Structure 1
Amino acid sequence: MSTIYKSAAGEQQLRRRYEETLAAWPVTAEHLRIPTREGETFVLASGPPEAPPLVLLHGAGANASMWQGDIATWSRHFRTYAVDLIGEPGLSSPSRPPLASDAYARWLDDVLDGLEIGTAPVVATSLGGWMALDHAIRRPGRVTRLALLCPGGVGGQRMGLFFKALLLRPLGRWGMRRSARSATGLNTPQAEPVLDQVVLTFQQFRPRTERLPVFTDDALRGLGIPLLVIAGTDDAVFDSAGTVRRVRENVPDATVRLLAGVGHAIFGQTDEVLAFLRK
């Protein structure tokens, strides 16, 4: 059993659920396994092989299935590569090197090299957004364009939610569901399946507790690539107002959207992101 799961049975339960999702993927896809210095990385590839590449990086406590609602649109225009982040509940290695290092940039180098991708745009969210920014800053010229949803490492990180979740854990599924609702900001009947998956995941999975390093103003100023940032005013995980302010101050040509009443889980941006990618 990997140490990122609470039990071997829980790991298998999450893996079976993920494999069911992959079997119902809305478009034809290849399942690729890329060797890296951090262990094997799973990548779900969709779209025409001759189309330009697009790399997708999900958030913490998730896997490539989070792009299920976007992939049919994006894969008509790009060869999409949805990467399962290492150390998260997907099919990649459980490795979690220190965030305050260049380990994730080197890991992404290995992934891109294994996919024979020289340069590419990246769409990423939350923890994946932090990894995408980290890679773009450390590897100038390799990332051509960045579309980020509620990215980490820009605005402040709200650790209070983590401790609230610990307090609610003894209340069982009800407490975990309340915590998940607070974290994601999802409060509609349509969001119930997403909340179900979040609760199931965190019943069986050990999330990271390491705080994400914050990028300096100079690092943000040096990006030098087209940037789209979409955040929600009610994000309980990151200070979205701080994210927007720092992006506008340091990347004045960036396209920034702050969505009123939206929390950390941002959906319905498929067309907005596509328009940005195709500029």
Structure 2
Amino acid sequence: MNDLVEPNIGAAFRGPRLGHFRDAPAFARFRNAYDKAMADLPEPDQTWDVETRFGTVRVYRFGTGDGVPLLLLPGRTASTPMWESNLAGLITQRPVYTVDLLGEPGLSVQTRAFASSADQASWLAELLDGLGLDRVHLVGVSIGGWSAFHLALRVPEKIASVSLLDPASLFGRITWKVVVVSLGSVVPFFPESWRRWLLSWISAGADASDDEPVANLISAGMRDFTAFLPPPTYPTDEQVAGVGAPVLALIAGRSIIHNPRKAAARARRLLPRGVVELWPDASHAINGEFPERVNSRILAFADEIDSADRPYGTGRAGDAQ
């Protein structure tokens, strides 16, 4: 895969607080892991490096069908390959765009520091314009769900629906366990075996060995990339209630990032057009644990939105069985 945009490499990017790889060998290690993980995905139909005020964003389109597309936003220290379990199923029904988040390890290149959480929604809004997308169904996992929520607040006219997969810092405040995992991504010389254990812990024991390409990629990002991201702001009740788009919220019952039942209860109470499900057996890695089930819910939700002559509804769905 050839790139037109040079990555940020080295300490020169620390002063301006731009996400960067620590040195050239660090980027080489990450790029090798990235390419190996991408090899397990369907072949992208198109690839773009889209300019925004905050940097150049790597975007892939999978599938050539018509219809309102899905736009997938990954979790922290992840990138496009984290959707490996979902893409093959999703693209049979709709065109799918995936994004490497600015300021995170991936092939997007940050050129301007983020002054606030609002800046992270701003570049996503610019990205939609750059891609010429007038309307999308957003799908976000973890911090990608937080990003999707704030994008829906910023450009509601472009958002057909929002599907949130155990979103972080949105319906429930982060726990001390998340702080521990975050330390593993920023502390220099953190033992690799501990980093792998943290990855397995946050996903309820999932394989995080060197043989698992996505886990290997995320671990490489944690080890070799330095990020300067504002802490995600926790939305007020008024902000949550202000999302006018239909929202599907799938909350993982075994999640360590928040109290799942309290998060589900807040979402049910506040979302004006929300369908909220608590999946008791799911961990924070919900999209990889239950890919077919997650895909089915996302696609059915998007299909009903697109075919409805009236708003999806104000249902507060109960716990998934």
Query: TM (normalized to structure 2)?
Result: 0.78
Q: Secondary structure at the match of 2:61?
A: strand
Structure-1 residue corresponding to 2:14:
none
Q: 1:157 aligns with which of 174, 186, 195?
A: 174
Structure-2 residue corresponding to 1:174:
193
Q: C-alpha distance in 2, partners of 1:223/1:81?
A: 22
Runs of 4+ in 1 over 4 A off after TM superposition: 164-171, 188-192, 207-210
Cα deviation, residue 208, structure 1 = 5.7
Q: Secondary structure at the match of 2:59?
A: strand
Structure-2 residue corresponding to 1:205:
225
Q: 1:80 aligns with which of 96, 100, 108?
A: 96
- Quick one: percent identity of the two aligned structures? 25
Structure-1 residue corresponding to 2:27:
11
Distance 1:244 1:98, change over 3 A: farther
Q: C-alpha distance in 2, partners of 1:83/1:12?
A: 21
Q: Secondary structure at the match of 1:35?
A: strand
Cα RMSD, aligned residues only: 2.6
Cα deviation, residue 191, structure 1 = 11
Instruction: State the number of aligned residues.
Output: 278
The answer on whether the counterparts of 2:171 and 2:263 sit within 8 Å (CA) in structure 1 is yes
Structure-2 residue corresponding to 1:233:
253
Q: C-alpha distance in 2, partners of 1:188/1:18?
A: 18
Cα deviation, residue 167, structure 1 = 7.8
Distance 1:176 1:10, change over 3 A: same
Q: C-alpha distance in 2, partners of 1:207/1:163?
A: 17
Structure-2 residue corresponding to 1:122:
138
Q: C-alpha distance in 2, partners of 1:167/1:191?
A: 17
Verify: 1:54 aligned to 2:73, yes or no: no
The answer on whether the counterparts of 1:34 and 1:111 sit within 8 Å (CA) in structure 2 is yes
The answer on whether the counterparts of 1:233 and 1:259 sit within 8 Å (CA) in structure 2 is yes
Residues 1-279 of structure 1 aligned to structure 2 (within 5 Å): 1=9, 3-48=19-64, 50-94=66-110, 96-100=113-117, 102-152=118-168, 153-163=170-180, 166=183, 172-187=191-206, 193=212, 194-206=214-226, 210-251=230-271, 253-266=273-286, 267=288, 268=290, 269-279=294-304
* Residues 177-233 of structure 1 deviation map (CA, whole Å, 9 limit, x = unaligned): 222222232346999714444333322233567431111111111212211111212
Cα deviation, residue 35, structure 1 = 0.9
The answer on whether the counterparts of 1:176 and 1:199 sit within 8 Å (CA) in structure 2 is yes
Q: C-alpha distance in 1, partners of 2:140/2:227?
A: 19
Cα deviation, residue 28, structure 1 = 4.2
Q: C-alpha distance in 2, partners of 1:71/1:24?
A: 10
Q: C-alpha distance in 2, partners of 1:255/1:142?
A: 20
Query: TM (normalized to structure 1)?
Result: 0.88
Cα deviation, residue 252, structure 1 = 5.4
Return 5+ residue gaps in structure 2 as ranges: 1-8, 11-18, 305-321
